[in-house]
Amino acid sequence: MDTTINLTIDEKRVSVPAGTTILEAAEGCGVRIPRLCYHPDLSLMGSCRVCVVDVKDIGFYMAACSSPVWEGMVVQTNSPHIRQARRDIVELLLDNHPKECQICERDGNCELQNLAYDLGVRERLFEGERKRFPLEVSGRSVIRDSEKCVLCGRCYRVCAEVQGVHNLSQHGRGFTTVVTPAHGADMDDSVCIQCGQCINVCPTAAFLEKKHSDQVWAAIADPTIHVIAQTAPSIRAAIGEGFGLPPGTPATGKMISALRLLGFDAVVDTDFGADLTIVEESHELLKRLENGGPLPMITSCSPGWISFMEKFYPQLIPHASTCRSPMGMASVLLKTYYAEKTEKDPKKIFVVSIMPCVAKKFEAQRPEHFTPDGTPYTDAVLTTREAIWMIKSYGIQFADLPNGQFDSPLRIATGAGDIFGTTGGVMEATLRTASELLTGKPAEKLEFTEVRAVEGLRELEIPIGDRVLNVGVANGLHNARELLDKIVSGEKHFDVVEVMACPGGCIGGGGQPYPPIGMKVLDPELLRLRASALYEIDGGKQLRRSHENPSIKILYDEFLGEIGGPKAHELLHTEYSAKKPRGI
């Protein structure tokens, strides 16, 4: 249907395709109608009514987000009355909202707060009963503050529509309506996979990551503890946004300098762990191809995906690579190899992972990732957002910092490690190394650009030597389900599959900075810019294949022994098990 509809918006005649909403049509003529529950990538809800407009001959104000235009429609988007109506709506939301903006985690980047300011709410008129709900802070990754919830429904829409998890729903009715998992369960007792996309799309602070900054401040302040920061690939592509740098600015060097100023005793590169993951994982793939399976091998870097597999697709557990994540590998090495080399007591080493990811907080607390004496290899996990505010609180002028260098021996990483942070990156890094392993000779092809893209699902045939690898790449678990169902049913054969839980991969992780003004959460353009920063870093490196990393070679020579050997297996690999509740 390509019928065109003619209508009038604010006395301007416009033509738009049938099915366009008033809100979309207005954007086309330069009016951004205020909105709250609306999100362009999610289903329409129309629950907040902030986007009301006046449509001629209709006796009530219509919600612009959920009203399709019709022929001859006459819309007025602004008038003193409409402005008053919107302000009244926002004031009523505020009346049922804690008055603690100054001490709220979202102060300054809260959509409700911004809306109240834009609409001119400058005084509070009513004082009455507010909804009261306890804080739910038991989750290892995601915490809930239902008193700050405005029932916009973005969290449960993203959980269902983008992540395919369906963990959240509105419960009860009227004044006591609350968004929770089934049975009002705590987050970690539910089918939550800890991806944190609910945090990303929440307009307020009803969902937040579990804070680890207090532990980190305490460790930094203790002179007897050697505090090491490791930074994930995608941090360098996004952290600059927190300090006013344009999205897509690579900021590796400034990030390292800032962390040193913050008081970390050492700063190392999680990308080194990524290179190591590729070396081990490619070896594992080769073994599986030689031994007849189980195939496909599915990547295991994304802890949100791992949780999803354990709850929703436990039958695929034999397919998941047994490799720990790059974070997991790096943390193990810091408390073994690094401790040995620098002659430090591992018990006095405090490993802080700076991650784009909320699920990494959960991963770090899994007993599979504990040292033999029962303490975690990764002591604390900071999201990009937490790292940004910690740097800000020291008054560090990030943009003006000189470029720092990572510390040995987890210093050098290849470009293959950098691209781990974006969808398709783990696949490309695997192919760069596996193609040499499979053919037994140095591969000519370096860039597998066919696996690069921001869309959620790709199925490709990659020729390597005289064989063809069937590969699948998925980001966003709703997309992944399509691919996983094919594997379960046997409808299609894959050799290797990359799954990243979050849209766009780690660059769109649940712990990444809230989007800058003018960009929406999950904006493909924002994700593209962050990905381009990683490809830029990769392109500028001499070393771009993980197995060519000289430090990795030294690591095996000095410490691990053989690739895929007993010591590597003991330290770098892990296991999974089916978890309950079983997801649907």
Q: Measured between alpha carbons, how far apart are the two ends of the chain, in Å?
A: 35
Among residues 317, 443, 453, 460, the one that binds other proteins under rule CB under 8 A: 317
Site for other proteins in 484-513 (CB under 8 A): 488, 490
Query: Which of residues 82 and 317 has its CB atom nearest to other proteins in the complex?
Result: 317
Listing from the earlier edge strand, what are the strands of the sheet with 226-231? 266-269, 226-231, 349-355, 380-383
For residue 462, the one-letter residue type is I
Active-site entry in 360, 386, 498, 546 = 360
Kindly determine how many residues on this chain lie close enough to bind other proteins according to the rule CB under 8 A: 32
Among residues 40, 253, 263, 581, the one that binds other proteins under rule CB under 8 A: 581
Query: Which of residues 172 and 540 has its CB atom nearest to other proteins in the complex?
Result: 172
Interaction between residue 181 and other proteins (CB under 8 A): yes
Are 152 and 521 a contacting pair, CB within 8 Å? Answer: no
Stretch that binds other proteins, among 78-86, 166-174, 364-372, 535-543 (CB under 8 A): 166-174
Q: Closest approach of Cβ 178 to other proteins, in Å?
A: 9
Active-site entry in 71, 100, 340, 368 = 368
Stretch that binds other proteins, among 57-65, 379-387, 552-560, 572-580 (CB under 8 A): 572-580
- Is 15 among the catalytic positions? no
Which residue from 69, 123, 71, 75 is spatially nearest to 99, judged by alpha carbons?
123
Interaction between residue 56 and other proteins (CB under 8 A): no
Q: What is the 3-state secondary structure (H, E, C) of 531-544?
A: HHHHHHHHHCCCCC
Would you put residue 183 in left (φ > 0), alpha (ψ -120 to 50) or beta?
Answer: left
- Is 368 among the catalytic positions? yes
Q: Closest approach of Cβ 292 to other proteins, in Å?
A: 13
Q: Closest approach of Cβ 307 to other proteins, in Å?
A: 15
d(CA 398, CA 109): 19
Interaction between residue 515 and other proteins (CB under 8 A): no
- Is 321 among the catalytic positions? yes
Q: Closest approach of Cβ 571 to other proteins, in Å?
A: 23
Stretch that binds other proteins, among 33-41, 169-177, 208-216, 253-261 (CB under 8 A): 169-177
Active-site entry in 51, 301, 323, 357 = 301
Query: By three-state DSSP, how is residue 118 classified?
Result: helix
Among residues 4, 315, 375, 449, the one that binds other proteins under rule CB under 8 A: 315
Residues in the chain: 584
User: What are the structure tokens assigned to 4, written together?
Assistant: 């065109």
Interaction between residue 287 and other proteins (CB under 8 A): no
Which residue from 479, 509, 510 is spatially nearest to 497, judged by alpha carbons?
479
DSSP H helical ranges for 180-336: 197-201, 213-221, 235-238, 252-262, 270-291, 303-312, 326-333
Which residue from 421, 402, 388 is spatially nearest to 242, judged by alpha carbons?
388
Interaction between residue 195 and other proteins (CB under 8 A): no
- Is 123 among the catalytic positions? no
Among residues 67, 141, 167, 549, the one that binds other proteins under rule CB under 8 A: 167
DSSP assignment, residue 135? -
Would you put residue 250 in left (φ > 0), alpha (ψ -120 to 50) or beta?
Answer: beta
Are 350 and 225 a contacting pair, CB within 8 Å? Answer: yes
Interaction between residue 577 and other proteins (CB under 8 A): yes
- Is 281 among the catalytic positions? yes
* CA torsion angle 319 321 322 328 (round to 10): -140
Active-site entry in 111, 280, 284, 428 = 284
Which residue from 306, 319, 36 is spatially nearest to 195, judged by alpha carbons?
306
User: Catalytic positions, please?
Assistant: 281, 284, 301, 321, 360, 363, 368, 506
Q: Which residues bind other proteins (CB under 8 A)?
A: 156, 160, 166-173, 180-184, 190-191, 294, 314-315, 317-318, 488, 490, 576-578, 580-584
